[in-house]
Structure 1
Amino acid sequence: MYGLTPSPAHPSPEAETAPALLDRFDALFGSVADADELVRVAARVAGCPAGLSDRGRVLRRGPAGGSPDAGETVPSTRRLITVAGRAAGEVWVERAGEPLPFDTLLTERMALAAASLVAGGGVGPGGGSHGARHPSSPSSLSGATSPGVPVDPSAPSTDQRLWVPRGLGDPALVQAVLSPAMPETQRSRALHLLGLAPAGPMRAVAVVVAEPAALQGALRASAVELHVPPSVAPHGALWPRVGALLLPGAPVAARRPVAVPRGVAVGVGPAVAPERLPESWAQARRAARFAGLGPTWPRLVDAAELGAQVLLAAIPEDAALAHPDVAAVARLEAEPDGPQMLATLEAVCRTRSLREAAKLLSLHHSSVAHRVARAERVLAMSLSDPAERQRAHTAVLLWRLNAPGNWRN
């Protein structure tokens, strides 16, 4: 009947990429009539027992189509069924030993198909309990369980209202690739499922947005700006306002103005061996904290170009905000025209003259000179002195990196 997959074998992660697997699962689950058939198909594809729960009823089927042995259900990978933003049950597979990377994609597609059945009243025919106890409470299941991968309860793969990229498994697989806790063998398999067979270095890119609704467009636009088509750069929304791109390790295509829109910050990590992508991701996240931080900062920042400045992002927030220089900058910004004063202070610290700063800010140089005099009084520093100008610039950076409401954090 199903024809697309042998029984009881599962699709080989070494043979199929994530899009191919997703196409296969869509073909299998797209025409199921009820929950019982959905679970039977899933168990046959997985080659191990699969299950579904809905309103206290539990369905379990083995790979041969019958009911597995009665007893406690031990899901190895599971996923909430979400309808209109609310949990309506869950699906799972029960694989002995370590879960396979494609189990995450399978359960996500199961959950999507089950959500359609729930919305259409199709869950339940032939249902009822088949001798299994209900697995853990859905309130503790905010996402698929993969060994070593931290799951954020707001991760978009469990909420249909947030962006879902071409492959529902992409966020989970991208997260697996970037998690420092993921074993190297599992990271390699996740890369393969993403359609990557890296023979050289790769880099991670962090995309942070002020508003969750902008994340989809920001991820795709960032890939284009980096001269990598979105279809070639696996991407995933890891949290509502943070997404990731995985790119080949070629140099970043810039030194040119990059058209990243306001409200989007992009940090590019260094090129590393694939097994070290979590290190690139950590540096990309830090670089994103500097992107668009002030009038002289681009909205796309390469961690390699930050140099030692990137260490400022590692200073604990409490320690940074408690420093007298940073507190003085905070007082300066609290004045009625504080944002303009801080922009002027930054421009003066990062340019070679008042006239150059005035040109950057589109102001007359006398207006800049007046603001500088006010800033010097509040900071108790002389901005004509190179050492004190550097000190002021450091204080401005620490304030902006840690200021309350900085969405880049």
Structure 2
Amino acid sequence: MQGLMYRLAELDADSAGLVRVIDYFDALIRHGADTSAMLRASAALADCVVGIDVVGTSGGHRQHARCDPKGRWLTQAAGQRSATKDVVVDDVVMGSVWIERAGPALALDEMLVDRMALTAAIILVPRHSPSAAEHTRAVLFPMDDIALLSSLTALHIEPTTRLRVAIATADSPPTAHAPTAGRSTPITVDNHVLYLLPGEPSAPWVGSGRMGVSLPMPASAIHRHLGNARFALAQAGESEPVVIADRLGALNLLETGNGLAASDIPDLVRVAELRTTTHGIELISTLRTYLGSGSLRATADRMHLHHSSVAHRLAKISEAVGYPVDSIEHRARATAMMMVLDGSGAGDA
């Protein structure tokens, strides 16, 4: 079949035939063929005996072989070499490839041996296997979607898996090993160390410096949210050296150029669920009044409730959203949550 394709290509050697031969050998390279596979494929395409005589780039190992169109290895020449080409790697001749065709040469023989030589040269150069650090960098700073997906596969991370990015100062990274996602590894970029972390990391990050950890995002989109980790890092200090973006709630929206949606922020998801019930709307209304008045008693007076009832409602909404809404350290977080909720058109809450 391949021999027939090759003979038909002679009808248009200046265009379709040339393209077919080039594509044929490009496919061998893409599929990781070795010299033996390349020789078999070349013999099938040429429909005659082909040969190779090369020395490996590391020296020492010599490969000398002939193959016929049926894939059989020959020890003796089948005829005179009708076309030959040197195999050159970095301007050094490593050997040659050739065609042993009985009868006159065909139109594409020169093209065939040329592509055989080029393919052999590519095969002889040891392939670079990207490291885990290089794949991690490609996930965080992808050149394109194909590179991103390829690196996620190499790191054993599904594109839909939710991950976090952590950023620490390079001069004081965490002393404990961070629970990196998949086979990823920390990388250093612009005096910071970046980590890919599982969406629900279990170990604390203890170190001598500061660290910011982003909200969880799908692995295929995590590179768009490096700014979220940097925003969390900017909020870290001596009293709280590690800041996880979840603790900032809707304040994450203050990040310049953020690409976050309400569904990315746990606080907003939880409070949105509350307003779907009458009881939840009651709790939200109590929190709004509390944030506006500043104390339990003032809230109780405004709502015509006993202050213990107000305290009970605040405890319930704190349980629902996952943090104490009436604590001093979470006042800004709770206020931001309510501002976004009200801005989304929840006038009935």
The interval holding the TM-score normalised by the smaller chain is 0.3 to 0.5
Instruction: Decide which structure has the larger Cα Rg and report it.
Output: 2
Name the TM-score, length of structure 1 as normaliser: 0.32
